[in-house]
Amino acid sequence: MNILILGNGQLGQMLGKAVIQQGHQCILYSDRQQQVMPLASDQPLPMSLEEAKSWADVVTWEHEHLGEALVEQTHDKFLIKAERFNQLTDRRTQKSLCDELGVPTSPWQAYQTTDELRDILSNCDKAVVIKSARGGYDGKGQWRWKPGQDAEPIIQEAGQRPGIVEDMIPFSHEVSVVAARDHHGEQRGYPLTLNVHNDGILAYSMAGAQQFTDELEALAQQYHQKLTDHIDYIGVLAIEFFVVGEGEQQQLLVNEIAPRVHNSGHWTMSGANCDQFNLHIRCITGLPLPEFLVAPTLMINAIGVDGLPEVLWEASAADCHWYGKAPRPGRKVGHVNFMIDTFERGEKLASQWCDELIKLA
């Protein structure tokens, strides 16, 4: 099949490798650059978007911030309805969707203008996170405020674009479910992934080490199924959650939904028989969902460094991925997967390597 992938960052590249592995071809399309995979393909480049779309049997994406014009021009080859896609790309409609379906999410309020934001904060007596409705990633487009703090600088900056004000959640953990839904409405996911963030950006993820109760695992899959059934979604979609409460009172609150492959699913490249990229391509080309075999894995992001330490490349237990991007502080440039036997071993490796692999400033 011919697959048009919108976006050509690292997620697009990793999707592209899965496309080739499964015997298809793809074009990675961005406004600045196009790339055909496999390179032996005889498609002349550059192609206009219109040409790329007519070449394609199906259009998919590496990220959801595509912009209205791009969605408008390509959505007739999406596997989901454009209005559903758009609903997932704005935090306001994303949160409303959770509320509508009874999927718990952190309490929130929407604002349109600086005046509305000022109004919300002047009536607020708890710590909050203010988030732009569209376009944020890696903690960008977010501001934190607590009572007693001067709100005006935040109001001036955040109020320039519509957004939401969200309660600050005292979570015990952050987790995500990366799961797929196929053409027949079958859904299947990897085990819950534990995610640890540093300054709003994912530092490391760990999965497969049986860290969570069966109830929590089932709840995450159930919420995923509810949301993806409603959207009639096909492919991989990730949901980030906050874990709140203790013991049997443990609950999941949706933080955000990412209608695509996800950084917290990179561990599957080493820890699962079918990784998230292959899973997505299987779904969009109509293959059945695989049964998963998973092994405990730790994934550490390489952020802002200009290379991975030699010792990691040399170590057989570390599976290194480098994205070929110019390093800048806070920019994801690669990741390393470690096979682990226990959760404790994973925590130990994370504390050993995070400082060396992550440069935020």
Contact 264, 202 (CB under 8 A): yes
- The site for ligand ATP (CB under 6 A) is made up of 106, 129, 131, 136-140, 166-169, 174, 197, 200, 240, 255-256
**Min CB(349)–ligand ATP separation in Å:** 21
Distance linking the first and last C-alpha atoms of the chain: 43
* 204 carries a ligand binding annotation: no
Contact 283, 180 (CB under 8 A): yes
* 169 carries a ligand binding annotation: yes
If contact means CB under 5 to 8 A according to the sort of partner, which of Mg ion, ligand ATP, none does residue 138 touch?
A: ligand ATP
* 83 carries a ligand binding annotation: no
Q: Which is nearer to Mg ion, 182 or 256 (CB)?
A: 256
Q: Which is nearer to Mg ion, 10 or 278 (CB)?
A: 10
What's the 3-state SS for the chain?
CEEEEECCCHHHHHHHHHHHHCCCEEEEECCCCEEEECCCCCCCCCCCHHHHHHHCCEEEECCCCCCHHHHHHHHHHCCCCHHHHHHHCCHHHHHHHHHHHCCCECCEEEECCHHHHHHHHHCCCCCEEEEECCCCCCCCCEEEECCCCCCHHHHHHHCCCCEEEEECCCCCEEEEEEEEECCCCCEEECCCEEEEEECCEEEEEEECCCCCCHHHHHHHHHHHHHHHHHHCCCEEEEEEEEEECCHHHCEEEEEEEECCCCHHHCCHHHHECCCHHHHHHHHHCCCCCCCCCECCEEEEEEECCCCCCHHHHHCCCEEEEECCCCCCCCCEEEEEEEECCCHHHHHHHHHHHHHHHECCC
Q: Which is nearer to ligand ATP, 51 or 347 (CB)?
A: 347
Q: Which is nearer to Mg ion, 90 or 256 (CB)?
A: 256
**Min CB(223)–Mg ion separation in Å:** 16
If contact means CB under 5 to 8 A according to the sort of partner, which of ligand ATP, Mg ion, none does residue 182 touch?
A: none
* 138 carries a ligand binding annotation: yes
**Min CB(265)–Mg ion separation in Å:** 13
| Residues from 249 through 288 that contact Mg ion (CB under 5 A) | 256
**Min CB(116)–ligand ATP separation in Å:** 19
Binding mask 214-243 for Mg ion (x = CB under 5 A): --------------------------x---
If contact means CB under 5 to 8 A according to the sort of partner, which of ligand ATP, Mg ion, none does residue 166 touch?
A: ligand ATP
Q: Given the DSSP bridges, would you call strands 193-198 and 251-258 parallel, antiparallel or unpaired?
A: unpaired
* 250 carries a ligand binding annotation: no
If contact means CB under 5 to 8 A according to the sort of partner, which of ligand ATP, Mg ion, none does residue 64 touch?
A: none
Residue 161 carries which side chain, given as an amino acid letter?
R
Q: Which is nearer to Mg ion, 240 or 319 (CB)?
A: 240
**Min CB(142)–ligand ATP separation in Å:** 6
Residue in the shown chain whose Cβ atom is closest to ligand ATP: 169
* 255 carries a ligand binding annotation: yes
If contact means CB under 5 to 8 A according to the sort of partner, which of Mg ion, ligand ATP, none does residue 139 touch?
A: ligand ATP
* 3 carries a ligand binding annotation: no
**Min CB(106)–ligand ATP separation in Å:** 5
- Binding residues for ATP, by number, are 91, 131, 136-142, 166-169, 174, 197, 255-256
**Chain residues that interact with Mg ion, rule: CB under 5 A:** 240, 256
